[in-house]
Amino acid sequence: MEPRGSSGVGSGNSGTYTPEIAESLRFEEEIQSLIDPSFDASSAAGGSFTALLGLPANQAVELLHHPGPGEPPASAATDTLRLPFGCSSTFVERAARFSVFATDDSPASSSGGGLSPGLKAEPPDSDSPPTLPAPAGKPRRPSKRKECEKSKVSRRPRWGFLSRKAVAKKSKSAEENTSAAKPAAEENTSGDKLPYVHVRARRGQATDSHSLAERARREKINARMKLLQELVPGCSKITGTALVLDEIINHVQSLQRQVEFLSMKLAAVNPRIDFSGLDHILSAECGPLAVASGCGGGASDPAMWASDTAASTGGIRRMPAPPQIWHLDVVHPQQSSTVWENNGVAHPHFLLSPATSLVGYDPASSVPLNSNRLKTEL
Amino acid sequence: MLSRTHFIYISACVAAFSPSCLLSFSVAAMQVTEAFKHAFLKQMLLGFQASAVSTNSMGFQERKNAIKLSADVAMAVARGSRKWTRGLIAGLSEEQQNRSFLQLILGEQYERRLMKPCYSSWKIPRCRKIVRRSLRVCCRRQKKKKNQSGVLARTLVEKRTQQLKRLVPGGESMDGFSLLDETLDYVLSLRAQVDLMQSLLTTVESSKLRSHSKRTLPERKASYVGK
């Protein structure tokens, strides 16, 4: 694996990475930086992350699992999803696995192999890595420390990676269980798709199975809440679940109202536009849609429209009928009046050319409807 | 035969659409992709065509509802299979008048989609209610005195969660965690929908203005009248 610059993960170096992985890594980094402000995403994370990418999986994970100074107390002090060291270890672990996946190295090739079908099988717009913890309610406690097992490959990986990180890597300094750093490193690098998740209790917190499950669940929910907070504008300053939920509800309601309003406006504008021809255009011209709206000025090409008019008789037949009907149709007062005025001049170039495409290409479903309407109009 | 106005129409839609989505793209890179926008737009226009909103036999309210219906269906179809999309389609097909449209648009997928949420939609909330009720009874027996502020906060959150469940389609059958997940997804899709419809509207209006300014060309009039 070639080491990358500290400018970012996957910015330009997608030689061995699929675009999805690059995007997911970038996304993870961003989410990481969002969640953990003390985690300096631009320099430190990028640096450590990309630097560790250069190492093979074992070394990278072992490097991280020798805890840095002062890390556990810092993490123990904060109750929320604050795992400055732990999170980066999962990043690196995943990155290591990805690097393995990309280059087919042997040590974690099984996990890499296990990952690759999962990754490839995802739809292109889901970028998160394919691991997810077992749901919080499952009885994982006997297996937590005893075996060397890893989190399983998920079915529904889209947002799951965060919770997996939260759950899987809480650094623990109280050595109640027998697992030390060594087997931890082994756990991380060995094994691939075993159905148990490692949840390590933080220092000073109960390791009771119930409370662990509770905490895992709570942290999952907190992670989602944080994401939602970032999404909804003006929500990042608010603390407290109820207020944040309030904001989210307001936002959803406002979006729904906007959709209503826009559909109303579209309905007002609509009589001029015949959407039936556009389907054909979309299917035919999905590729070169990079035409800027600036060249819309060129659209009003008389030569083009003249050729259109030559080909259509049905469109012209439609033409005199609609303006009369629009005058009769009492619709939306202020906006539609302008529409009627425009139509009163009877120059629906727009209507004419869609009509030509309608005549030229009739999708089966729309033919009976439109022909009926034509008859009723005329 | 194809008019360039349509190219510009659609291209302007998509071009105007893409920059506005960059913000959501950076936050949640996975969802608002180009493919999603394309599929959304295409599906919406298909829906407009199928419900024939452009003909004038509909009243205003009818047309508005048809537009909104096809926009929602397009959003659900373009998004794929999520809990909220299934809930949305199930909710839309509750009303008889929508069913023919849905049948037309979705085709054979419609029956399959209808069958899916039935299973989970009522069983899970019922089980959950039973569990919660028993838990509440147990708690009440065990401890009479509760933490006041905790209770208050919890009931507030409960209320909000109920409200959110009503807002997000198919929300009643989700637990807290997946509710947040689906809300996230739903908010992104709603935003995409608003942006798409906004750009559609501006393109239509701008092209209307353009055609309005072009109407003074005499040779076209002659050709129309002549035929």
SS3 readout for chain A:
CCCCCCCCCCCCCCCCCCHHHHHHHHHHHHHHHHHCCCCCHHHHHHHHHHHHHCCCHHHHHHHHHCCCCCHHHHHHHCCCCCCHHHHHHHHHHHHHHHHHHHHCCCCCHHHHHHHHHHHHHCCCCCCCCCECCCCCCCCCHHHHHHCCCCCCECCCCCCHHHHHHHHHCCCCCCCCCCCCHHHHHHHHHCCCCCCCCCCCCCCCCCCCHHHHHHHHHHHHHHHHHHHHHHHCCCCCCCCCHHHHHHHHHHHHHHHHHHHHHHHHHHHHHHHHCCCHHHHHHHHHCCCCCCCCHHHHHHHCCHHHHHHHHHHCCHHHHHCCHHHHHHHHCCCCHHHHHHHHHHHHCCCCHHHHHHHHHHHHCCCCCHHHHHHHHHHHHC
The token duo for B18 is: 């893409």
Q: How far is CA A263 from CA A120, A270, B46, B71, B161, in A?
A: 38, 10, 16, 8, 28
How many Å apart are CA A24 and CA A164, to the nearest integer? 15
Number of CB atoms found within 10 A of residue A124's CB: 14
8 Å CB contact between A310 and A366: no
Counted domains in chain A? 1
Nearest by CB to B215, from A273, A299, A347: name it.
A347
The sign of the dihedral angle between the CA atoms of A202, A207, A209, A214 is negative
Taking the CA atoms of chain A, what radius of gyration do you get in angstroms? 30
CB contact under 8 A, B168 and A252: yes
On chain A, the residues whose CB falls within 8 A of the CB of B26 are: 30
Residue of B nearest to A163 (CA): B177
Return the CATH number at A246: 4.10.280
How many Å apart are CA A73 and CA A180, to the nearest integer? 18
pTM of the model: 0.48
* Structural domain includes residue A235: yes
8 Å CB contact between A53 and A3: yes
Question: What's the complex ipTM?
Answer: 0.74
B55: left (phi over 0), alpha (psi -120 to 50) or beta: beta
Nearest by CB to B54, from A220, A270, A319: name it.
A270
What is the nearest CA distance from B185 to chain A, expressed in angstroms?
A: 10
Q: Which of A350, A150, A120, A86 is nearest to B214 (CA)?
A: A350
Question: What digits encode the pLDDT tens for the residues B189-199?
Answer: 999 999 988 99
How many Å apart are CA A212 and CA A210, to the nearest integer? 5
The token duo for A340 is: 């009627």
Nearest by CB to B14, from A217, A249, A289: name it.
A289
* Structural domain includes residue A203: no
8 Å CB contact between B66 and A283: no
Number of CB atoms found within 10 A of residue B141's CB: 8
Please give the full DSSP string across B53-111, using - where no structure is assigned: TTSTTS-HHHHHHHHHHHHHHHHHHHH-S-HHHHHHHHHHTTSHHHHHHHHHHHTHHHH
Number of CB atoms found within 10 A of residue B127's CB: 10
How many Å apart are CA B38 and CA B40, to the nearest integer? 5
Lowest-confidence region among B79-83, B119-123, B150-154: B119-123
* Structural domain includes residue A78: no
Residue of B nearest to A357 (CA): B2
pLDDT at A182: 43
* Structural domain includes residue B189: yes
Q: Which of A289, A160, A275, A355 is nearest to B74 (CA)?
A: A275
Say whether pLDDT at B31 is over 90: no
* Structural domain includes residue B90: yes
The sign of the dihedral angle between the CA atoms of A280, A281, A284, A287 is negative
8 Å CB contact between A16 and A67: no
How many Å apart are CA A269 and CA B54, to the nearest integer? 10
Residue of A nearest to B70 (CA): A263
Residue whose tokens read 């709206």: A293
Interface test with A, best of B4, B53, B86, B179 (most A CBs within 10 A): B4
| b (16+ CB within 10 A) / e for B24-44 | bbebbbbbbbeebbbbbbbbb
Residue of B nearest to A271 (CA): B54
Question: What digits encode the pLDDT tens for the residues B155-209?
Answer: 888 888 888 888 888 878 878 788 888 888 899 999 999 998 899 888 888 887 8
* Structural domain includes residue B15: no
Residue of A nearest to B221 (CA): A347
Contacts of residue B202, defined as CB under 8 A and 6 or more positions apart, other chains included, come to B12, B16
Nearest by CB to B71, from A230, A263, A329: name it.
A263
CB contact under 8 A, B177 and A217: yes
Return the amino acid letter for A373. R
Nearest by CB to B10, from A30, A289, A363: name it.
A289
What is the nearest CA distance from A299 to chain B, expressed in angstroms?
A: 5
Domain of B38? 33-117+167-208
What residues does A131 pair with on adjacent strands?
Answer: A153
Q: Backbone phi, then psi, for A176, in 5-degree steps?
A: -75, -40
How many Å apart are CA B162 and CA A66, to the nearest integer? 45
Domain of A251? 209-285
* Structural domain includes residue B217: no
pLDDT in tens, chain A (378 residues): 444 444 444 444 444 545 555 555 555 565 555 555 554 444 444 444 444 445 554 554 555 555 444 444 444 444 444 444 444 555 555 555 555 444 444 444 444 444 444 444 444 444 444 444 444 444 444 444 444 444 444 344 444 444 444 444 444 444 444 444 444 444 444 445 556 766 666 677 677 888 889 999 888 888 888 888 888 888 878 777 788 888 889 999 999 999 999 988 888 876 655 555 555 455 544 444 433 333 333 334 444 444 444 444 443 444 444 444 334 334 444 444 444 444 444 443 444 444 344 443 444 444 444 444 444 444
CB contact under 8 A, A263 and B64: yes
How many Å apart are CA A67 and CA A181, to the nearest integer? 9
Counted domains in chain B? 1
On chain B, the residues whose CB falls within 8 A of the CB of A303 are: none
